[in-house]
Amino acid sequence: NAGVTQTPKFRILKIGQSMTLQCTQDMNHNYMYWYRQDPGMGLKLIYYSVGAGITDKGEVPNGYNVSRSTTEDFPLRLELAAPSQTSVYFCASSSFGTGDEKLFFGSGTQLSVL
């Protein structure tokens, strides 16, 4: 079982560049999330989706965009990268509402904006 696959693992961007973080899950989960984690901090929710075609903002959405065209994929787009977006990014999915509220995480993306 692949679970949640997140790419790339590492990336260095220059200020003003754009990129897309890819996230795919093969567990047929409806709920998917993008978090960022700064050093010594907890996870902050960027965007989430409760199903294909439905997305909503989390706590820290500024500077990011998402789409959910299929159940499996939930890419995160960074437009005009800024140093404040240097962080570790985690994608996660869950089958919330089925009695199993466990979050399954991808292995993370270490992003540096210089």
Partner 1 sequence: RKEVEQDPGPFNVPEGATVAFNCTYSNSASQSFFWYRQDCRKEPKLLMSVYSSGNEDGRFTAQLNRASQYISLLIRDSKLSDSATYLCVVNGDSNYQLIWGAGTKLIIKP
Q: Which chain residues interact with partner 1 by CB under 8 A?
A: 31, 35, 40-45, 48, 50, 58, 88, 90, 94, 96-97, 101-103, 105-108, 110
Give 38 or 79: the residue with its C-beta nearer to partner 1.
38
Q: How far is the CB of 92 from partner 1 (least distance, A)?
A: 8
Please name which of 14, 27, 9 lies closest in space to residue 80, comparing C-alpha atoms: 14
Identify whether the C-beta of residue 60 lies closer than 8 Å to the C-beta of residue 46: yes
Identify whether the C-beta of residue 13 lies closer than 8 Å to the C-beta of residue 114: yes
Element (H, E) at 32: strand 31-37
Q: How far is the CB of 24 from partner 1 (least distance, A)?
A: 15
Give 67 or 95: the residue with its C-beta nearer to partner 1.
95
Query: How far, in whole angstroms, is CA 93 from its chain's centroid?
Result: 10
Q: How far is the CB of 43 from partner 1 (least distance, A)?
A: 4
